[in-house]
Amino acid sequence: MAEDLQEMWGKFSLNKDENSRVSLEDVEIAPMVHRGKICLVGKIMVDRIVPKEFFRALLIQAWRPMGEVFFKVLGGNRFIVEFEYEWDKSRIMEGRPWLFDGNLISLTEYNGLMPPAEMIFDPASLGIRMYTLPLACMGRETEQKIDSSVGKVEDVYVNDDDPRWGEFLHVKVAVELLKPLARGRMMHVHNRSIWIAFKYEKLPKFCYRCSVIMHGRLRCVRSGSRRTSNVEDEQPYGP
């Protein structure tokens, strides 16, 4: 969206009156900026318009906020939600990802200064369980390596005071939605190559053919390139 607007702006010409600059530097915006700190901006990642009252009712039911919650539609399945209590906002951000009818709801902080049309909702937070890691690698020290391989790690769920080895390493990662979902990674540990399998928590709808979250199979750019009758053989991704 931001790139499209920038391209359109490059082709746009203004007359003298339109190009006169209106300064807002002396406008008192501090109260509104402060108000933005108790707000989140979200987008439902689906290619159809969802009625406000429909998704509002389902989100209120899922979030169960302690205080009042106010929704305002911004267009294009984007919305801003204002919370009565900052605690509700923090809890909902911690609970990401949230889904609507199986589709991802991407949420981001808002400072009150950026036009909604320029807001970017990619990447989005997803919980990943990483299996078959050596037990000695199940700690925060692994975070930097994951960052460079999968995406920006937002949290690693380990107890530093009382580390408990387990079946998998649990992380929350900012995943780029227009890239194929990673099924895992080959990792090199002490002269050994080990396949680390990923399992996603609350994974939204995604295309089994190309593994991109932003569309379903019917809209996949690769759908027209099928050469065999066995569709499942061509799909490297599945439940």
The answer to whether residue 226 scores a pLDDT higher than 50 is no
Q: What is the pLDDT of residue 227?
A: 41
Predicted confidence band of residue 87 (pLDDT cuts 50, 70, 90) = very high
Peptide bond preceding 236 in cis form (omega within 30 of 0): no
Q: What is the pLDDT of residue 6?
A: 61
* Mean pLDDT along residues 69-94: 92
pTM, entire model? 0.73
Tens digits of per-residue pLDDT, 19-66?
A: 666 655 555 666 666 677 899 999 998 878 888 888 899 999 999 999
**Alpha carbons 149 and 185: distance in angstroms, whole number:** 8
Q: What is the pLDDT of residue 225?
A: 47
The answer to whether residue 229 scores a pLDDT higher than 90 is no
The answer to whether residue 234 scores a pLDDT higher than 90 is no
Q: What is the pLDDT of residue 59?
A: 92
For the chain, give the mean pLDDT.
79
- Three-class DSSP labels, the chain: CHHHHHHHHHCCCCCCCCCCCCCCCCCCCHHHHHHHCCEEEEEECCCCCCCHHHHHHHHHHHHCCCCCEEEEEEECCEEEEEECCHHHHHHHHHCCCEEECCEEEEEEECCCCCCHHHCCCCCEEEEEEEECCCHHHCCHHHHHHHHHHCCEEEEECCCCCCCCCCCEEEEEEEECCCCCCCCEEEEEECCEEEEEEEEEECCCCCCCCCCCCCCCHHHCCCHHHCCCCCCHHHCCCCC
**Among the listed residues 39, 127, 44, 55, the one whose alpha carbon sits nearest the alpha carbon of residue 89:** 39
Domains defined for the chain, CATH in brackets: 30-118 (3.30.70.330), 124-203 (3.30.70), 206-239 (no CATH)
Q: What is the pLDDT of residue 136?
A: 79
**Among the listed residues 138, 61, 117, 118, the one whose alpha carbon sits nearest the alpha carbon of residue 92:** 61
Q: What is the pLDDT of residue 86?
A: 92
Q: What is the pLDDT of residue 32?
A: 63
List of residues 6+ apart from 115 with CB closer than 8 A: none
Q: What is the pLDDT of residue 238?
A: 63
Predicted confidence band of residue 114 (pLDDT cuts 50, 70, 90) = confident
The answer to whether residue 237 scores a pLDDT higher than 50 is yes
The answer to whether residue 93 scores a pLDDT higher than 70 is yes
The answer to whether residue 206 scores a pLDDT higher than 80 is yes
Q: What is the pLDDT of residue 143?
A: 66
Q: What is the pLDDT of residue 8?
A: 66
Contact 180, 211 (CB under 8 A): yes
* Mean pLDDT along residues 203-210: 84
Tens digits of per-residue pLDDT, 125-175?
A: 999 998 988 887 877 777 667 766 788 888 888 765 555 567 888 889 999
More confident residue, 234 or 138: 138
